[in-house]
């Protein structure tokens, strides 16, 4: 496997080469998106390996059930085990490369790199993980516990895309964290506004956070409201609510009807 130091240097060289080539040219407006895509390249590759690892796990379970004492079945199961170990090693290296690219993106553009789809989970540390709700719910259905089912006090957060008082949001969330040191943050996964600020806060504080993004392809116009229902199904300890639109108000109303405390940020 690649040496960590050499891999980090290689990722740094990729960013330096891309930025030095395009800075002060007509392509400079595209630079941030291209650098985001560079980090996303490793993220997508890691996600593909993770899917292969899931298939390998299913195959191993079948192989265990089919063991009949024959050498053929035993050799096949050993092959699957070796293949699974190799996939885990490849996934971990790709995660390391993604984290290195994420650090480079943050250093150059002064903002955290976050994926638009899928989970941002580091299997080495399992801290500051950003989990997509689809992965979370799928893991819950499969009764898996690591790393996609975080334990702790669940706190929901909602905000409109136009609300951007980051100081107030950080202050309130710091107070919640002081009260619940094991908190897990659940939010709507918006790329702008208060929910994005809350996600950055969680990353800075190394708090696991789960993004419940609307499934537009499945539910269309009803997607945000179905997302609200899914967020409340996890029975959060409380809901922190910032000013927003009708979708945010819908979540607040439903939470109150369920008896979930709502802490409002004006």
Quote the tokens at residue 140.
Answer: 């819950």
What per-residue confidence (pLDDT) applies to 131? 57
pLDDT tens for 13-30 read: 999 999 999 999 999 999
d(C-alpha 240, C-alpha 255), whole Å? 11
pLDDT tens for 161-207 read: 999 999 999 999 999 999 999 999 999 988 899 999 999 999 899 88
d(C-alpha 19, C-alpha 141), whole Å? 43
**Residue from 195, 1, 200 nearest 88 by CA:** 1
Express as a percent the part of the chain with pLDDT over 90: 49
What per-residue confidence (pLDDT) applies to 4? 86
pLDDT tens for 229-255 read: 988 988 899 999 999 999 999 999 999
What per-residue confidence (pLDDT) applies to 31? 94
Q: Is the pLDDT of residue 79 over 90?
A: no
**Averaged pLDDT of the chain:** 85
Quickly state the pLDDT bin for 264 (edges 50, 70, 90): very high
């Amino acid at each position: 496997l690649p040496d960590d130091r050499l891999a980090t240097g290689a990722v740094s060289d990729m960013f330096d080469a891309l930025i030095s080539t395009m800075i002060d040219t007509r392509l400079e407006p595209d630079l941030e998106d291209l650098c985001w895509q560079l980090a996303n390249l490793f993220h997508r590759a890691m996600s593909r390996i993770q899917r292969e690892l899931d298939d390998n796990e299913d195959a191993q379970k079948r192989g265990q059930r089919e063991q009949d004492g024959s050498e053929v079945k035993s050799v096949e199961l050993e092959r699957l085990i070796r293949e699974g170990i190799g996939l885990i090693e490849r996934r971990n290296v790709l995660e390391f490369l993604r984290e290195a690219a994420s650090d480079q993106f943050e250093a150059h553009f002064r903002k955290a790199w976050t994926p638009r789809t899928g989970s941002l989970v580091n299997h080495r540390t399992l801290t500051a993980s950003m989990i997509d709700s689809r992965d979370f719910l799928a893991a819950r259905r499969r009764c898996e516990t690591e790393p996609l089912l975080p334990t702790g006090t669940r706190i929901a957060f909602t905000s409109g895309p136009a609300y951007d008082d980051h100081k107030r949001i950080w202050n309130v969330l710091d107070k919640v964290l002081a009260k619940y040191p094991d908190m897990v943050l659940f939010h709507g996964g918006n790329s702008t506004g208060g929910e994005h600020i809350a996600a950055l806060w969680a990353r800075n504080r190394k708090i696991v956070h789960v993004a419940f993004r609307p499934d537009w392809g499945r539910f269309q116009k009803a997607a945000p409201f179905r997302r609200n229902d899914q967020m409340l199904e996890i029975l959060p300890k409380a809901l922190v609510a910032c000013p927003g639109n009708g979708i945010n108000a819908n979540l607040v109303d439903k939470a109150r009807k369920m008896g979930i405390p709502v802490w409002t940020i004006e």
